Amino acid sequence: MPNQTSEQNTAAELRARLKKTRASLPEAQRERGALLMRGRLFSWLNAARDALAAEGRPVSMVAAFWPLNEEPDLRPLLSQWVDNGVQVCLPCVTGSDQPLAFRAWTPDAPMRAGAYGIDEPADGPTLRPDIVLVPTLGYTEHADRLGYGGGYYDRTLAALDADDHPTIAIGIAWTECRLPRDYEPASHDRRLDAVLTPDGWVPRAPLDAAPEPSKSRIMRFILGG
Helix (H) or strand (E) holding 158: helix 152-162
**In this predicted model, what pLDDT tens digit does every residue of 5-37 receive, in sequence order?**
455 667 899 999 999 999 999 999 999 999 999
If one counts the domains in the chain, the total is 1
**In this predicted model, what pLDDT tens digit does every residue of 100-147 receive, in sequence order?**
999 999 999 999 999 888 999 999 999 999 999 999 999 999 999 999
Residues comprising the chain, all counted: 225
Beta-sheet pairing, 119-121 with 168-172: unpaired
Question: Which DSSP state fits 214?
Answer: P
Task: Tell me the chain's radius of gyration from C-alpha atoms.
Answer: 17
In angstroms, the CA 180 to CA 132 distance is: 25
For residues 42 and 133, the answer to whether their CB atoms sit within 8 Å is no
Q: For residue 137, give its domain range.
A: 4-223
CATH of residue 70's domain is 3.40.50.10420
Q: What is the pTM of this model?
A: 0.89
Residues 6+ away with beta carbon under 8 Å from 184? none
Beta-sheet pairing, 194-197 with 101-105: unpaired
In angstroms, the CA 1 to CA 102 distance is: 38
